[in-house]
Amino acid sequence: MNTSQIPRSSVANLRAALTVEYHFIGNEDCFIENIRSIGEADETSLVWCSPTKPNKQTLVDETSACVIICDGSIEISEEQKASKAFFIVDNPKLAFSRLVRSLLRLNQPRGIHPSAVVHPEAEISKTAFIGPNCTIGACKIGDHSQLHGNIHVYDDTEIGNHVVIEAGAILGAEGFGMAKTDDGVWERFPHIGGLEIHDFVEIGAGTTIDRGTLENTVIGEGTKVSKSAHISHNVQIGKNCLITGCVSIAGSTTIGDNVWISPNATILNKLNIGNNVFISIGAIVTQDIKDDYQAIGRKILPKTK
């Protein structure tokens, strides 16, 4: 992490930015200038401590950080209260994540890099950022969305608000749909649908997502797609899914909400994957999966509690 990106922030600034319930203990005059791990911190660092760490009390006692996000199991001495600031929360990782993203957003770039090529009919929010060497078709890009370098966005792609797309992604290309003639020759089927990427989606570097044939391919709100994944035409993905590296989802498959797909999994076309499904690393999915089930290898089993 480039810690120089973090603006100097007082406890009052942090209180205003933190969007989870918390209990504050300590010195109101503390401030931060960087964000580091709890073991590498200095006197102006913001850190968090995992509640699952067996040595969490020692980590908090020994850190040099001045502002610490932790859970209520940490014992805080009078000396610590006098010199440091503690935000006590139920989920330190979530609180830390939200706070850091809020601080980074203050320096988030806006505008279109001069090397980008943008279609004259593209509708791009003034708060969005288009990075170097991007090619942007006749599409829509919403508020505060960030497109890193070397991204190609085809026509009829709609990108929502607060979307992050990493370098080298290709969005809205024509899918691999073919029709066969009587002579056995393959001809490309026309893809006149589009691609919808809803709010708060993240798409990793090198990932490709195809446009639909007649209807749109859809990536639901809050879904995160890692690097080098491929999502084919007409796929419908619900909300808050986690799709990890090198996953391949074939065309016209529907995926519900809160689905976790592990690395190198392959999902056959035209399947229905329910809500709250887990698909294990390297799984090959060739049949529908009901809500709350999991795919392990080629087996479909109820999820264990």
- Chain segment 199-251, per-residue pLDDT in tens: 999 999 999 999 999 899 999 999 999 999 999 999 999 999 999 999 999 99
pLDDT tens figures, 257-304: 999 999 999 999 999 999 999 999 999 999 999 999 999 988 888 887
Q: Tokens 């001809």 appear where?
A: 187
pLDDT grade, residue 8 (50/70/90)? confident
Q: Within 13 A of 280's CA, how many CA atoms are on the CB side?
A: 12
Spell out where 215-292 has E strands. 217-219, 224-225, 230-231, 236-237, 242-243, 248-249, 254-255, 260-261, 266-267, 272-273, 278-279, 284-285
233 is catalytic: yes
What is residue 236's predicted lDDT score, i.e. its pLDDT? 98
Pairing mode, strands 111-112 and 129-130: parallel
What is residue 106's predicted lDDT score, i.e. its pLDDT? 62
Contact 208, 215 (CB under 8 A): no
What is residue 4's predicted lDDT score, i.e. its pLDDT? 44
Q: Lowest-pLDDT range, 10-19, 69-78, 193-202, 248-257?
A: 10-19
Domains and CATH numbers, the chain: 3-105 (3.40.1390.10), 111-302 (2.160.10.10)
pLDDT grade, residue 131 (50/70/90)? very high
For residues 87-110, average pLDDT = 87
Contact 60, 49 (CB under 8 A): yes
Pairing mode, strands 135-136 and 170-173: unpaired
Of 152, 191, 230, 233, the catalytic one is 233
φ/ψ (deg, to 5) at 115: -85, -5
Helical ranges in 146-241 per DSSP H: none
Spell out where 97-189 has E strands. 111-112, 117-118, 123-124, 129-130, 135-136, 140-141, 146-147, 152-153, 157-159, 164-165, 170-173, 178-180, 186-188
Alpha-carbon distance of 295 to 277, in angstroms, equals 8
Burial (CB count within 10 angstroms: exposed 0-12, middle 13-18, buried 19+), residue 204? buried
For residues 71-99, average pLDDT = 95
Mean pLDDT, the chain, rounded, equals 93
Contact 164, 176 (CB under 8 A): no
Whether the full predicted model's pTM is greater than 0.85, yes or no, is no
What is residue 273's predicted lDDT score, i.e. its pLDDT? 98
Burial (CB count within 10 angstroms: exposed 0-12, middle 13-18, buried 19+), residue 71? middle
Alpha-carbon distance of 33 to 54, in angstroms, equals 28
Sign of the dihedral through C-alpha 72, 73, 77, 80: negative
For residues 166-193, average pLDDT = 91
Contact 95, 77 (CB under 8 A): no
Alpha-carbon distance of 111 to 118, in angstroms, equals 12
Nearest to 194 by CA among 223, 225, 235, 253: 235
What is residue 5's predicted lDDT score, i.e. its pLDDT? 54
Q: Which helix (H) or strand (E) holds 101?
A: helix 92-105
What is residue 87's predicted lDDT score, i.e. its pLDDT? 97
Nearest to 116 by CA among 165, 175, 156, 158: 165
What is residue 107's predicted lDDT score, i.e. its pLDDT? 65
Alpha-carbon distances of 36 from 89, 117, 206, 245, rounded to whole Å = 19, 37, 28, 26
